[in-house]
Amino acid sequence: MLLTIGPAGGSFELPVEYLGAIERDSLRIAAVVSAWSVVTKLEGSELVVMPAAGAPAHIEVSITLTAARRGFGRDRFPEFTAAQKSRNDAFYESAHQP
């Protein structure tokens, strides 16, 4: 997302289509790139960008958001039991047996 802000900063509503396709509690700011120091935060469905004092009239800010797709909010790698680990270890060890 590429935004242009002024010295007062700004608040930007995230697209309804985007918010409808993600798990709302998984939304995070992954990266912020700007030639000027800025503070970014998520407030509900809005992205708030505030520049440091003395900001020029126009500041370009590139922001990368990340989120889990709706229905895929669970842990990526589930935890396994000790018995499952033992069976998995035995399987891999069997590949190294003559």
pLDDT at 22: 93
Q: Which two tokens stand for residue 3?
A: 């935004």
* Helix, strand or coil, per DSSP, at residue 20: helix
pLDDT at 12: 94
Q: Parse the chain into domains and list their residue ranges.
A: 2-94
CA 8 to chain centre: 25
Could you give the CA distance from residue 52 to residue 21 in angstroms, rounded to a whole number?
Answer: 33
pLDDT at 36: 92
pLDDT along the chain (98 residues), means of 10: 91 92 91 94 93 91 93 76 92 83
Contact (CB, 8 A) for 3 and 61: yes
pLDDT at 25: 86
The sign of the dihedral angle between the CA atoms of 69, 74, 29, 66 is negative
pLDDT at 79: 83
